Structure formats: C-alpha cells, structure tokens
Amino acid sequence: MRKEFYILTAAILVIASVISAVSAMGVGTLYAPNEPLIMQPGEVQEVLFNLQNLGAGAVDVVLKAELMQGSEIAAISDARSEYFVKAGTSDTNARLTISIPSDEAIGTKHTVIVSFSTVTSGVSNVGARMGMAIEKSFDVYTGQIKKTQGVETWMLVVGVIALLIILILLFKPKKAARKRR
C-alpha cells in the first residue's frame, strides 16, 4: 500500500511539473508544405518567421534559429541566430534570405526547413530544464508549379447534359403504357 502511494505521488508531481512547463510559443510564416514559395532564376527574397509567445502561462524565452535543410539557397539573414521573445508578444521576426541561382532550371524544387528551439541556460531549481523546438518547412519552386490536369469545362458541360438526358428518359411516361389503360 505504501509503495503504491509513493508511485502515485511521484506520478502526480511529474504530471504537475510537465503541465506547468507548457509553453505557448509558436512560429508563423506565409509558406508551408502546401503553400510553396515560387521564385524565378536570379531572384532574391526575404521570408519572415513570426515568433510568438502568447498564452496565460507564457514566460520570456530565447529561441535559436537553425537552418536544417536548404542551405544551398537559404541563409538566416539576421546577424544573430538567437531571438529574445517576451511573454505575451507576437512582434518578433526572424528573417531568412532565399537566393535562387541565375542558372537554375525552371521546375527545380528545394525544401527549406528551419528549426526554432528554446535556449536553456544552466539548470533550474529542480535540477533540470525542459526545452522545445518547432520546425517549419516549405518548398521553393523555380518558375511555375506544374499543375495537375483538372476537369475541363467542356467535360463538365457534356457530363451535365448526359445526366439530364438519362433523367428525361427514365421519367418520360411510356406511350404504350397509356394506351393500355
């Protein structure tokens, strides 16, 4: 009985410490895996990442930006890669510069992944400090995205007309059935 009490007490303490460590940190950008960035050969563009630290339990955090994939076309633009984000704010931006080589072939696809992780310094009063990371990824296409063939308008019109003809034939009263009555 005593052993179960200690296990239950330890579990409650662990759950309580994890719940109190929940962060309201977020990272937003205009681009995502289903919302790619389309650029032309030789073009340079800056992409902003909005660093947010909102919510009732938010505390000041330092986020470190690291380019995980896409270094052949992308680089963190800011002189520093660590960003101080005050609790209750959403006005801190990290900048990433995307440069497409002028000889890049049209249709080339690059994937860019940027990781934002909390920077922990030292140890906390409980002996350990938890951190978290958020990865943002998006594709960069050179030129235009090859769109999949959609349903042509004329095919839709033919389909509707065919459906109407079938419905008319099904519900049209038969002359032979009228004469018998």
Model confidence over 94-134: pLDDT tens digits? 999 999 999 999 999 999 999 999 886 544 455 555 678 88
Give the domain range for residue 54: 25-142
pLDDT score for 169: 80
Query: Is the residue at 137 inside a domain?
Result: yes
Residues 168/162, Cβ–Cβ less than 8 Å: no
Q: How many domains does one find in the chain?
A: 1
Query: Is the residue at 79 inside a domain?
Result: yes
Instruction: Please give the structure tokens belonging to residue 12.
Output: 């409650």
**Which runs of E-coded beta strand occur in the chain?**
25-28, 37-39, 44-53, 61-69, 74-76, 82-85, 89-99, 109-118, 133-142
Query: Is the residue at 165 inside a domain?
Result: no
> What mean pLDDT do residues 1-16 have?
66
Query: Is the residue at 170 inside a domain?
Result: no
Compute φ and ψ for 43, nearest 5 degrees.
Answer: -85, 145
Query: Is the residue at 152 inside a domain?
Result: no
Query: Is the residue at 88 inside a domain?
Result: yes
Instruction: Please give the structure tokens belonging to residue 90.
Output: 């959403």
Helical residues (DSSP H) of 21-108, grouped into ranges: none
Query: Is the residue at 109 inside a domain?
Result: yes
CATH number of residue 73's parent domain: 2.60.40.10
pLDDT at 139 over 80: yes
Measured CA to CA, the distance from residue 43 to residue 169 in angstroms comes to 59
The CA-CA-CA angle for residues 133, 137, 140, to 5°, reads 155
Query: Is the residue at 18 inside a domain?
Result: no
